[in-house]
Amino acid sequence: MINFWLENRDEFVYRYLSEKGYKNKIFMVIIESPEEITVSERIRSKIFNLFKNYGSEVDLLFWFFDEKSIKVVFNGLAKNFHQRFEKIWKDISLLSENISGEEFSFVRKPILAIGKINTVKLFDLHYEEIEEIVELITEDLKSNATEKIIFVKDYTEQTDLLLNKARERIRLRKHVERALKERDITLFVHYIFDLELKKKGAEILARIPKPDRSGYVSAGLFIPYLERENLTGEFDKVVLSTVRDNLENLKLVTDRIFVNIYPSSLSYASAVEELIKLIDGCNDIGIDLVLEITEYAIVTNKQILEYLQEKKFTIAFDDFGSGYTNFETVGELAKYKNAKVIKLDGKIVQNMLNSEIYRSIVESVSLFAQKIDMEIVYEFISSEKIFNEIRKIAETYSFKPDKISLQGFLLHKPTPLEEEIKKVKTS
């Protein structure tokens, strides 16, 4: 289906364009752009990537009110694009001419339309709003949600929702950027236990307070933004620095901390510098630091990790069983003296109750960890049933008690460091 809108003549438009050979969706961006305003490099880049990645699925038409802007935006695109652009526009113009004697209310907006056309009111948006909407559309295409009509004639509930979502993301972006600049993050503590439910350490999490300080921005909101905007290295730099500044407070609640960093941060000089300072700070104060990184991060950053081998800290293979992680690679990397912990992916642990396959994976990884004398941390312990299953596996295979660790909401929910300190001082 091609999501054009022409008063009540949708079928006519569809049939006409089908005859012209258009089988895919047509994606249009209409931007009112006076000659003195140039399209930002960021928007041009996003549009280019969208065309490059989804050009086979979508007939793309980006129309700007001045020809100069068209040339700016499409500089560097496929050689045949301008011919394709001209053909689509010619066909649309012919369609307009075929409707003689009637007001032509054709809205060029099957998925996205921005600007003003004749008497049809669309939307005057700031360029940063255009950028976010292009990003949202790209995510829609990536998730194969292309059958959804996002924009329809004039102002509808759907357009309202999309625009609001774009503006919320802009507000989030500005808030996160400010938080990173001002190092305005809060450390949370998520305890890790042994089978006897005695504390063995704590994972240190970072959260960003909401603007009104009424709570915290969901990690599910700000983490995708960090990844999308390549700010993970900067985020880890701030987190590592904040953890280092709070080592004395952390010492009050635990003498073993788990800190997670992104793979890309090991290639980010400022983050590595903060990591080295944190390692040294932990050693000075008597805290064991466990660095949670994926196997992929280790494989792609061997040089820096070999350099860090001389430092006193522990490496934990995070999210074991998902993504790139495999037994062979971890077995090879286990030769590093720092590599001592495997954190089994929580989704695998959760699924073990309903699937013999997942239970077999849990048993296999557990046996593997025992064989190479590594500690295993079972994540997502969210129910008594899961806890009892892990205990049963440990007893069946006579696992060493000191090599078994548990983490999950059943045992403890993450709480701000300040609250944990108050508990310690009042106990």
Nearest one of 202, 207, 214, 203 to 186, comparing CA atoms = 207
pLDDT tens profile 301-355: 777 777 787 789 999 999 887 765 567 777 766 666 788 999 999 999 999 999 9
CB 378 within 8 A of CB 344: yes
The closest of 238, 284, 234, 239 to 258, measured between CA atoms, is 239
Strands 415-416 and 186-193: antiparallel
SS3 at position 413? coil
- Residue 50's contacts (CB-CB under 8 Å, 6 or more residues apart) are 27, 60, 134, 137, 138, 141
* Element holding 417 (H helix, E strand): helix 417-426
Cα distance between residue 148 and residue 25, in whole Å: 11
Please count the CA atoms within 13 angstroms of the CA of 316 that sit on its side-chain side: 27
CB 265 within 8 A of CB 232: yes
Closest CA to 250 of 203, 316, 293: 203
Nearest to 381 by CA among 124, 210, 168, 195: 195
CA angle, residues 201, 417, 408, in degrees to nearest 5: 50
- Residue 305: exposed, middle, or buried by beta-carbon count in 10 A (0-12, 13-18, 19+)? buried
Q: Residue 76: which region, alpha, beta or left (left: phi > 0; alpha: psi -120 to 50)?
A: left
Which amino acid would we find at residue 315? I
Tokens 């992680």, residue located = 325
Specify the amino acid at residue 287. Answer: I
Report the pLDDT value the prediction gives residue 73, as an integer from 0 to 100: 36
Residue 13 identity = V
pLDDT along the chain (427 residues), means of 10: 32 51 45 42 58 49 38 38 51 47 33 31 54 68 48 43 82 93 97 97 97 92 88 96 98 98 91 95 97 80 77 90 68 75 94 94 93 94 97 93 96 97 91
Residue indicated by tokens 């949600």: 145
CA geometry: angle at 238 spanning 233 and 241, to 5°?
120
Can you give the pLDDT at residue 137? 62
Per residue in 54-87, is it b (16+ CB within 10 Å) or e — as a string?
bbeebbbbbbbbeeebbeebbeebeeeeeeebee
Entry pTM: 0.72
- Domains for the chain: give ranges and CATH numbers: 10-172 (no CATH), 183-426 (3.20.20.450)
CB 205 within 8 A of CB 414: yes
C-alpha–C-alpha distance, residues 266 and 229, integer Å: 17
What are the backbone angles phi and psi of residue 186, rounded to the nearest 5°?
-115, 130
Among all chains, which residue has been given the structure tokens 């001002």?
A: 182
For residues 336 and 308, what is the distance between their CA atoms, to the nearest angstrom?
11
Which of 382, 404, 407 has its CA nearest to residue 393? Answer: 404
Of the candidates 276, 267, 271, 339, the residue with the CA atom closest to the CA atom of residue 300: 267
Q: How far apart are CA 300 and CA 293, in angstroms?
A: 11
